[in-house]
Amino acid sequence: MERREALRLLATGTVLQLAPGKLLTALREARRLLDTQAAPRTMSPHQDATVTTIAELILPRTETPGATDVGVSTFIDLMLTEWYDEPDRSRFLNGLADVDVRTQALLGKNFVDASAAQQAEILIEFGQKMAAHAGGTREPSIGNEPQSDDVHFYSRLRELTLTAYYTSEAGATQELHFEIIPDSHDECAPLPFAQGSPENQ
């Protein structure tokens, strides 16, 4: 598998359409090709921390691993760096910056410095706008304007978070409950007899 093909499989979630017997092999190979960066290449440390915090709120650790456990922020940085074109990359980063602008206006602090409850309230607002847009229930003042940057950002972040999670081995096996079944099954073969057994005498 080439690096570009691995990116395509993971970015589009195509890998999850594979037969369960081939899924884990494809995931492992794709992740092996991509798990080479030690630090973010597109996001700054602060942006990375913000994405990590939001992703963990979307998919927190429970009895199963959370977003942080499977490296969601690393995956998102990789997609921003190697898969997104410049306009989409800029739009995502501008949306990420807007999260801090909103939090500063409401609370006088950056998103990562807010309490978990405050962070959740801000994400609920984003989620409600996203749901309203998806359902076509926009406010009258918005009219037929294109999808706003904040709605676009949050829907894209959720999409990337879920893709990163469910294309990880933990997400595929523990959350989606894919059973890893061998591609082939060999028929029973007779075992060699031990020396001194009645069959060899």
> pLDDT tens, 152-177?
889 899 988 988 888 777 665 665 55
Least confident interval from 28-37, 46-55, 92-101, 118-127: 28-37
pLDDT digits (tens, 9 = 90+) for 141-150: 333 333 456 6
Does the pLDDT value for residue 178 go beyond 70? no
Does the pLDDT value for residue 26 go beyond 90? no
**8 A C-beta contact, residue 147 and residue 86:** no
Which strand (E) or helix (H) includes residue 21? Answer: helix 20-34
Tell me which long-range contacts 35-40 makes (C-beta under 8 A, separation of at least 24).
35/71, 35/74, 37/74, 37/77, 37/78, 40/73, 40/74, 40/77
Does the pLDDT value for residue 48 go beyond 50? yes
Residues with Cβ within 8 Å of residue 114, at least 6 apart in sequence = 103, 107, 122
Angle between helices 149-166 and 72-82 (to 10 degrees): 120
Averaged pLDDT, 36-63: 91
Residue 196: what are its φ and ψ, rounded to 5°? 85, 0
Averaged pLDDT, 37-48: 88
Averaged confidence pLDDT in the chain = 76
Cα–Cα distance measured from residue 151 to residue 137, given in angstroms and rounded to the nearest whole number = 13
Domain ranges of the chain: 39-168
**8 A C-beta contact, residue 88 and residue 138:** no
- Is residue 103 exposed (0-12), middle (13-18) or buried (19+ Cβ within 10 Å)? buried
Averaged pLDDT, 47-63: 94
Helix (H, G, I), strand (E, B) or coil at 140: coil
Q: How big, in percent rounded to 5, are the helix, strand and coil portions of the chain?
A: 65, 0, 35
